[in-house]
Structure 1
Amino acid sequence: MSRHSKEFKLEAIRLMNEQERPIAEIARELGVKRTLLYRWRDEFNTKSGKAFKGSGRPRSDEMSELSRLRQENKALKEERDILKKAAAYFAKDLK
Structure 2
Amino acid sequence: MMKGQKNHYEASFKLLAVELSYERSNISELAREIGIKASLLYKWRKDYQEYGFNSFPGKGNLKLTVEQDRIVELEKRLKDAELARDILKKSNQHFL
SS in 2 for 1:43: helix
Matching residue's letter, 2:12: E
Is 2:42 the partner of 1:3? no
In 2, Cα distance between the equivalents of 1:19 and 1:42?
A: 16
Structure with the largest fraction of helix: 1
Q: CA deviation at 1:49?
A: 2.3
Question: Which fold has the larger relative contact order, with Cα–Cα distance below 8 Å and residues 6 or more apart in sequence?
Answer: 1
Q: When the two structures are superposed, what TM-score results if normalisation uses the length of structure 2?
A: 0.52
- Listed as ranges, the gaps of 5+ residues in structure 1 are 56-95
Q: CA deviation at 1:24?
A: 1.0
Q: CA deviation at 1:18?
A: 1.2
Question: What percent of counterpart residues are identical?
Answer: 37
Q: When the two structures are superposed, what TM-score results if normalisation uses the length of structure 1?
A: 0.52
Is 2:51 the partner of 1:51? no
The structure whose Rg is larger is 2
Matched pairs, number: 54
Aligned equivalent of 2:76: none
Large movers: runs of 4+ above 3 Å: none
In 1, Cα distance between the equivalents of 2:46 and 2:7?
A: 16
* RMSD (Å), alpha carbons: 1.8
Q: CA offsets, 1:29-76, max 9 Å, x none?
A: 010000000000000100112110017xxxxxxxxxxxxxxxxxxxxx
